[in-house]
Each structure stands twice: as C-alpha cells, then as structure tokens.
Structure 1
Amino acid sequence: MRKVSVVILNWNGAEMLRTFLPSVVKYTNPELAEVCVADNGSTDNSVDIVRDEFPSVRLISFKENYGFAEGYNKVMDNVATDYVVLLNSDVEVTEGWIEPILSYMESHKDVAACQPKILNYHDKKKFEYAGASGGYIDKYGYPFCRGRVFDSLETDNGQYDTPADIFWASGAAMFVRRDVYVAVGGLDPKFFAHMEEIDLCWRLLSRGYRLVCIPESKVYHVGGATLKKENPKKTYLNFRNNLLMMYKNLPSDELRKVMIVRCFLDYLAVVFYILKFDFSNASAVVKARKDYSFMRKDFKSLRDENLRQTKWSKLKFRYDFSLILQSKIFGKTTYSRLVK
C-alpha cells in the first residue's frame, strides 16, 4: 500500500511541469508513493499536459486559484496516504529521494515533518535560498538555514550532511504527516503565500513535535519562479506575513518587546531601500506594516488557540540573537559561524 502522496500545486505552470515533472515521475517509487498534480484553476494548458503527457500522474483539479496555503489544505481532502509531500513545481528530484525520509519518519513517530537537502538548480554545488539544509529563525523572526544566511549561499561541501532537528522545513519540498497537518489546522490561508510553512512549523514545534532535515535525500530547486526575489509583491507578503506569524505564535511575555524591536528593524529596511532608490520595495514594507496593524485583530482567536495548545513556549531552534546584528555587523554569514 502506498504511504506517500507527492503533490505538486500548479497554477499556469505548463512549461515547468514539462521541465520538472519527468524527474518526479522517474525517481518516485510507485510502490511507495503516488505522484499528483493539484491544479489551482490554471488558464493555460497545464491540465491537458498532465493528462496527455503524464498518464501515470493523478490530476486533482480546482476551479480557482486558492494560493499556496489554501490549495494544499484542500489537497488534504483529496488524498488518503499517511504522508504528503508539498513539492514546488520547479523542483528536480534525484534517485532515491523518497526512501530515506520515509524510513526516518516511520521510525521516529514524534517527527511531524521533514525536508531534503535543497540545492540550487542553476548552480548545483550551491545551497538554495528556500530551505538549504534546514531552517531556523532568530529572536525577531528572521529566517536562515544551514547553508544560507540572508542572500549568502554556501557551497555544499558536505558540511551539513548529517540529519538535524530544525525549526522549519521548506515548503518547496516538505514531507508532512497528513493527520498531524490537519489536526493543527494546516497552512494559514490568510497568508496566501510566503511564510506560511514557517508558521505551520512553529505550531508543530510548540505542540511537541519534531522537524528534521534528512540530507541523504537531495533535490534541486529553481526558486523565485513565481515571484522574483526583489519583487515588491514578494517583499510585501514576506514582511506582512512574518509579522502576522510572530503575532500568532510569540509567547505573551515576549510579544510586546519583540514587536517593538521589529518595528525599528522594519523601518530600517525602509531606509535601506530608499538609499538604494528602490522606492517600490520601500513602499511595500510600509504597506506591509500598515496592513499587519489592520489585520491583527482577525488573528486574535488563532493566537489564543495557539497559546492554549502550546506545550513548549521556549523553542530550542528559535535562536536568542539578532540575525541582522550578527550577519550585517559582525560578518557571520554562515550557519556554522552563527551557531556553534
């Protein structure tokens, strides 16, 4: 019986499906996993491509674009396996990528989610931005990885090839227990896109589960395929959703102090963009803060529920330092220098 559903959420990604789906079909053991494409109301020929060119792939069709978060929430109602892989449409997988993670999760029942080692598709010796070899955050909500600190990407020399407990698993290639995903509420659809996987992982950790990176499994990710890194919309969603995530999950004794510092750091980012004459991204940060203030009241009940369900408020892999200070001022631009 198949234990895993590998699900690629697609929206108008016909060419990416043609490019990357073949590796998923080739290297996914059909005895262990089914390969699915969940189409988010595409208006291109994505659906026809899956039906005509990939007959072994199961197609799940939605009539509209639900975004990354709600799209995957709806996927859970359409699969029945123990594990689901949230796989971006711009990921090339490698031989044997399923087996080591499935084996680890089968033998460690306290692990709710895992990710493989994620390398850069265009420079396969480098780690990729969105996940690298496992993710963490600093005290003020800034994410970083084994292999990536802000825009500094390390060369993969095997330095992070040991399995490691992490704070967040990348949504580019996340293995998750389906029943646990549903029980904790899944990805937050109000986020639409960006930061939603870190928010989910925070809930999983605080409720007593572990998250692990298994580098024996390896994939290559293009990254930025939907929105380029400096796109103002991406800047807006990253800042807004990061603030909402912090509000939803921070312990009460930390919330006010941390958010005061975040306000200062966010407006420092505005000044940074202005000095680069990047007024679009500066405006995106200002709008993100304004909309966060407006939306916060809608997240009060979710915050209350998270605090009620929390078993561990002091999470080990939310590090008690400022990533900006350590990396930009003290020059610590690798994980191994940040965390000794």
Structure 2
Amino acid sequence: MKKKHISIIIINYNTSSLTLNCISSINAFEESKSTEIIVVDNASKEEEVEHLINNLKNIDNVTFIQSKINLGFAAGNMLGFQYAKGDYYAFINSDVLFVEAVFESLISFMEENQNAGVCGLQIINEQGKETTSFRPFEGIRYKLFGKKFLAFTQPKKPSMLKKYNAPIVVDFIIGSFMFFRAEAFHSIGGFDPNTFLYYEETDVCYRLLKKGYKTYFLPNLKYIHLEGKSSSFNINLKIEHLISYLYVTRKNFGFLKYIVIKYFLILSYMLKAPFKKKNRSIFLKLLKMQESLALSMRHKQKI
C-alpha cells in the first residue's frame, strides 16, 4: 500500500516558543518524510515572527506562511490548508506536545473505518493526568441541566464522566488536535471562517455527521495539551466564546434552541450581574447580541 502523506497545520499567534516546541516534539516521534508542517502566523509581534523564522529555516519539512491580519482559528487554518498536499490533515494547536508516535495508528484506524471523518486522541496535562477530550453537542438539556443530566437521559451516548479503553463514536472532539480524512474535510468545505475563536470543532463535527461521516475518540493514543498557554483568559475572550456558541447553535441546531439557550444565558448573567463586574459586562453584551457576528473581536483589530 502506498504510504499516506500527512499535512500538519499549526497556528502561531505570539507563541513562537510553544510552536517550536510543538514542532520539535512532532519530528521527534514522526517520520518527517511522510509529513509536511505548515505554520501560519496570525499577525504576531515582530520579535515573535523573527524568532520563529530564525528557528524554522533549518527544518526541512516546514512551510511558513505569514498573515498580515489575525484571521482567528478557523480562517487561519483554512489559509494553511490551501498549501496542504496530504491525504490526511492534522490541525494541531501550538501548545500541544507529542509524547508518542500517533499518525501510523490513526491512519490504520481510518483506513479500517471508512466512515471516520475525523479522529481525536486522549489529552493529558503537564502532570500526565487525563483531561476532557470529547464533548456532547451543547443543546438545551446540556446547557440548562448539565452533563450529569444529559448522561442520565441519554445513557447510550458516550459520557465525559466515563473512562474508555477502545475507540468510540462521539459528538465532537476537542479542537487542540483534529485528524481529518482529506476527502471528508473537503466535502464540508473545511472550517467555517465566520467564527473567529471557539466552537469550530462543534461546527465541523456536526457538518461531518450530516454528510455521513463519524467523529471518533481514540483513548489509547495520547498527547499533552498545555491548556491555556496559547491564549490567556480575559473578558473579551469570554464574550467571543458566547458569540461563537450562539452563532454555531443558530446555524446548526435551529432557531428554537438558539432562542431558548440565548435567553437562558441572559437570565443567568442577569442574576449574577450584581455580584461581579465581568458578569455585568457579559450580560450587557448578550442583550446587544443579534444573530450576526458584529461584536466579534475580529472586527476590533487594526491593520
């Protein structure tokens, strides 16, 4: 059988050291002859770009692309995708570290399971502890009553509360490492560039499902995710999180679910608003939010 080629796309945004460590860990475990690494810089600071370029020039299997604007996660990855030539695409966060070879096993699994559109692996943190690696679609039951209620009402659905030892079909995998069959990714048009940050994996996995592809979680393959190292939390990111969530909900799950969830969020933050300033800010933003993405961080940046 002809050896399959893998295109790895990594977004860099002021995380040059993390990106370089990520690439080093990939090349330490995977064959560089069967991989190409495409690094997309999302308008980082000049010193970050310089550091990256100086250290990438001696790595043979890396292509560097520099964007003049911050495209966000989805559009940044779609820019990198345009240079990809692989049979499979691995979209990997800059704050990921490989701890073992995974590509050969992933390809074998997907060759044996032709309905597999995308696969995710077991995430571990810096201390080696397993963390959440897949989630259910966040509908009304999940948002209003939580994951325990969802697990109780849908006992056949894989639960985040359980440990698994064999591959399972899930709703969506965490977006820090997503391994796509190229033809499946093509069939849905890739990531939706309307989202700037967050919920890209929910959207892409749901659209794959509609095309007849399944999302698999492979618990026996692992990687480290230095969660939060590529983006620190602030109030603007929380608002962006809600903007993307409501957009993806309205787009994929219908107007009724969108309205119920939106007004549940408004009520929740209204009740919390008197106690914390950040909750007041989020409450006011939710009141202003329509179905558009006009309040997204994408529209606040200067070129």
TM band (smaller chain): 0.7 to 0.9
2:248 maps to a residue whose letter is M
Per the TM alignment, residue 201 of structure 1 is displaced from its structure 2 partner at its CA by 1.0
1:91 maps to a residue whose letter is V
2:284 matches 1:280: no
Q: Is the 8 A contact 1:135 1:145 kept in 2?
A: no
C-alpha change, 1:239 and 1:142, in structure 2 (3 Å) is farther
The SS at the match of 2:110 is helix
Q: Is the 8 A contact 1:193 1:237 kept in 2?
A: yes
The SS at the match of 1:80 is coil
Where in structure 2 are there 5+ consecutive unaligned residues?
152-159, 295-303
CA–CA separation in structure 1 for the residues paired with 2:100 and 2:75: 30
Return the match for 1:120 from 121, 125, 132.
Answer: 125
Per the TM alignment, residue 104 of structure 1 is displaced from its structure 2 partner at its CA by 0.8
CA–CA separation in structure 1 for the residues paired with 2:77 and 2:292: 26
CA–CA separation in structure 2 for the residues paired with 1:184 and 1:219: 27
Per the TM alignment, residue 80 of structure 1 is displaced from its structure 2 partner at its CA by 0.9
Partner of 2:261: 262
C-alpha change, 1:102 and 1:283, in structure 2 (3 Å) is same
The SS at the match of 2:38 is strand
Percent identity of the aligned residues? 25
For normalisation by structure 2, the TM-score amounts to 0.81
The SS at the match of 1:200 is helix
Superposition pairs of residues 17-56 of structure 1, within 5 angstroms = 17-54=19-56, 55-56=59-60
Per the TM alignment, residue 272 of structure 1 is displaced from its structure 2 partner at its CA by 5.1
CA–CA separation in structure 2 for the residues paired with 1:158 and 1:224: 24
Superposition pairs of residues 1-340 of structure 1, within 5 angstroms = 1-54=3-56, 55-64=59-68, 65-121=70-126, 123-127=127-131, 132-140=132-140, 159-229=163-233, 231-251=234-254, 255-256=255-256, 258-271=257-270, 273-277=272-276, 279-288=277-286, 290-295=288-293
C-alpha change, 1:124 and 1:200, in structure 2 (3 Å) is same
Q: Is the 8 A contact 1:240 1:289 kept in 2?
A: no
Per the TM alignment, residue 66 of structure 1 is displaced from its structure 2 partner at its CA by 1.4
Where in structure 1 are there 5+ consecutive unaligned residues?
150-155, 297-340
Q: Is the 8 A contact 1:88 1:173 kept in 2?
A: yes
C-alpha change, 1:275 and 1:226, in structure 2 (3 Å) is farther
RMSD: 2.8
What does the per-residue CA deviation read over 1:293-313, in whole Å, with 9 as the maximum and x for residues that have no partner? 3459xxxxxxxxxxxxxxxxx
Per the TM alignment, residue 236 of structure 1 is displaced from its structure 2 partner at its CA by 0.9
CA–CA separation in structure 2 for the residues paired with 1:145 and 1:75: 35
* Larger displacement relative to structure 2 (265-274 or 209-218): 265-274
Regions of 4+ moved over 6 Å: 143-146
CA–CA separation in structure 2 for the residues paired with 1:244 and 1:179: 26
CA–CA separation in structure 2 for the residues paired with 1:22 and 1:286: 44
Per the TM alignment, residue 180 of structure 1 is displaced from its structure 2 partner at its CA by 2.3
C-alpha change, 1:215 and 1:9, in structure 2 (3 Å) is same
For normalisation by structure 1, the TM-score amounts to 0.73
The SS at the match of 1:292 is coil
Q: Is the 8 A contact 2:94 2:230 kept in 1?
A: no
C-alpha change, 1:268 and 1:17, in structure 2 (3 Å) is same
